[in-house]
């Protein structure tokens, strides 16, 4: 998949600009705060229909503009396509693929991107939320229906949490608690099956990348961890649902007393290990970066298998965070697809990749 041309109007610090990308590596460079990440954000938006930096679309609109327009000519699934996103604060965001209206979820059927930013380097050491986010974004790209289940789960979760927090002031709220708990068990059972299946693929795809990357016999392990009563996350939805209900039953009282939701897929995590030792506790800084990079590159391989084309790889500010050996590994590994790399100085990266160089200054591209 490739983005050939991007035109933005009133987007972040861009008034209007058109950028032609090369089909291989594109190095986007310039000083701080000139608009490099904003370009990455625009491309991300074309694939996910939302930003990775904010939940509020109005923040994407240029301070002096009343609306924002992103238009792209892309090549995907062997044909030329156009994706257009129009953001008008106060109105629903409009998404058009080849002139036909689509939902944000449907975008993943047209364009896929994998984003890699410095936060991802902390994938191993940070809290479980970052690893869940990795699962959620990656699965959503290959299984659009997953996003719908996740939205429903989040809606029920917020509602149930509100009941658990407010019931002392308004005891009648407890009458609907069991209904929400049941809905959460049903949604969790679905999420768990998707997550278990994706984790198995991620493990399989990242082992060879990691072995090559670490240059030794180090063995990366990725194991999916969910609610304790679930004996087999690959079992049928019904079996998982019953096991979740057991957990729910035994925690009902504790939930009411603590005012917190104690059961469900919102606490899931990935157990990442190197040679059998928990990476979170034992891996060195270098080892955890190597593992994180391997996992992100594996995500790209899975998309290739799934769609037959490499997704666009977006590397925002990540190369400058890596030492020479790791930079070299990433640059050697990303052939075959289109990559957009941002960095503050060109740092000789374009020389090493032979790609296109794009200079950004104050919301203009040269
Ligand atoms: N809605 C907006 N309207 C106008 N300007 C905005 C808007 N949102 C962000 N900006 C500005 O865009 C500028 C560039 O942001 P961006 O994150 O792309 O910088 P960058 O080139 O990636 O910098 P760095 O090297 O520090 O990461 C910032 O100065 C920011 O204040
Ligand atoms: Mg930036």
Q: Report which protein residue has its CA nearest ligand 1's atom 19.
A: 33
Distance CA 22, CA 340 (A): 9
Q: What is the mean pLDDT of residues 262-287?
A: 94
Q: What is the pLDDT of residue 346?
A: 63
Atom number, ligand 1, closest to the C-alpha of residue 59: 1
Q: Which of 33, 40, 317, 366 to mutate to test the pocket of ligand 1 (most atoms within 8 A of CB)?
A: 33
Is any ligand 1 atom within 6 A of the Cβ of residue 35? yes
pLDDT digit string (tens) for 188-212? 999 999 999 999 999 999 999 999 8
**Ligand 1 atom closest to residue 41's alpha carbon, by position in its atom list:** 18
Reported as a single tens digit per residue, the pLDDT across 48-61 is 999 999 999 999 99
CA of 34 to the centre of ligand 2 (A): 8
Span 65-104, pLDDT tens digits: 999 999 999 999 999 999 999 999 999 999 999 999 999 9
C-alpha 155 to ligand 2 mean position (Å): 32
Cβ–Cβ under 8 Å, residues 3 and 74? yes
Please report, for residues 41, 73, 90, the alpha-carbon distance to residue 87 in angstroms, rounded to integers and kept in the order given.
14, 18, 9
Nearest CA to ligand 1 atom 9: 12
Ligand 2 center to 32 CA (angstroms): 7
pLDDT in tens, 230-249: 999 999 999 999 999 999 99
| Predicted local distance difference test score (pLDDT) of residue 135 | 97
Atom of ligand 1 nearest to the CA of 342: 22
- Stretch 16-22: mean pLDDT, rounded? 97
Which domains occur in the chain, in start order? Answer: 1-112+311-366 (3.40.50.300), 122-308 (1.20.1050.90)
* CA of 289 relative to ligand 1 center, distance in Å: 27
* pLDDT for res 222: 97
- Residue 201, ligand 1, Cβ within 6 A: no
Q: How is 332-366 classified by DSSP, letter by letter?
A: HHTTTS-EEEEESS-TTHHHHHT-EEEEEETTEE-
* CA distances for 68 relative to 9, 290, 333, angstroms: 6, 38, 35
pLDDT in tens, 1-13: 999 999 999 999 9
C-alpha distances (whole Å) from 272 to each of 35, 128, 219, 268 are 35, 11, 11, 13
Whether 347 has a pLDDT exceeding 70, the answer reads no
Task: Please report which ligand is nearest the Cα atom of 34.
Answer: 1
Instruction: Determine the pLDDT at residue 306.
Output: 95
Cα of 257 vs centre of ligand 2, distance in Å, is: 44
Ligand 1 atom at shortest distance from the alpha carbon of 360: 21
Determine the pLDDT at residue 321. 83
User: β-pairing, 100-101 with 94-97?
Assistant: antiparallel
Strand partners, 361: 364
SS3 content of the chain, % helix, strand, coil (to 5): 50, 25, 30
Residue 358 CB–ligand 1 contact under 6 Å: no
pLDDT given for residue 143 in this prediction: 95
Pocket mutation for ligand 1, best pick of 16, 19, 36 (most atoms within 8 Å of C-beta): 36
Cα dihedral 204, 125, 285, 218 in deg (nearest 10): -20
């Amino acid at each position: 998949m490739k983005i050939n041309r991007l035109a933005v109007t009133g987007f972040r610090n861009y008034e209007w600009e058109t950028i032609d990308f090369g089909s291989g590596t594109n190095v986007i460079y310039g000083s701080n705060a000139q608009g490099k990440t904003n370009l990455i954000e625009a491309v991300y938006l074309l694939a996910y229909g939302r930003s990775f930096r904010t939940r509020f679309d109005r923040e994407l609109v240029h301070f002096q503009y009343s609306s924002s327009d992103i238009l792209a000519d892309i090549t995907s699934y062997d044909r030329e396509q156009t994706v257009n996103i129009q953001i008008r604060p106060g109105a629903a965001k409009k998404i058009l693929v080849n002139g036909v209206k689509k939902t944000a979820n449907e975008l993943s059927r047209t364009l896929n991107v994998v984003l890699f930013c410095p936060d991802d380097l902390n994938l191993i050491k940070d809290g479980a939320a970052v690893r869940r986010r990795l699962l959620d974004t990656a699965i959503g790209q290959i299984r659009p229906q997953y996003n719908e289940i996740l939205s429903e789960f989040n809606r029920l979760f917020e509602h149930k949490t509100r009941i658990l927090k407010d019931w002392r002031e308004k005891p009648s709220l407890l009458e609907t608690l069991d209904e929400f708990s049941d809905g959460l068990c049903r949604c969790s059972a679905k999420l768990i099956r998707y997550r278990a299946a994706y984790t198995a693929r991620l493990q399989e795809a990242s082992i060879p990348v990691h072995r090559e990357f670490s240059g030794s016999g180090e063995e990366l392990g990725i194991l999916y961890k969910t609610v304790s009563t679930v004996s087999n996350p690959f079992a049928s939805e019904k079996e998982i649902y019953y096991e979740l209900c057991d957990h729910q039953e035994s925690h009902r009282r504790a939930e009411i007393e603590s005012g917190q939701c104690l059961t469900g897929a919102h606490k899931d995590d990935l157990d990442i290990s190197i040679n059998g030792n928990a990476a979170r506790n034992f891996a060195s800084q270098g080892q955890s970066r190597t593992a994180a990079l391997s996992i992100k590159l594996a995500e790209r391989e899975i998309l290739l298998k799934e769609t037959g084309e490499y997704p666009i790889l977006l590397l925002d500010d990540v190369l400058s965070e890596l030492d020479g050996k790791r930079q070299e590994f990433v640059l050697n590994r990303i052939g075959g697809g289109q990559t957009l790399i941002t960095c503050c100085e060109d740092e000789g990266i374009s020389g090493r990749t032979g790609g296109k160089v794009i200079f950004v200054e104050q919301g203009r591209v040269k």
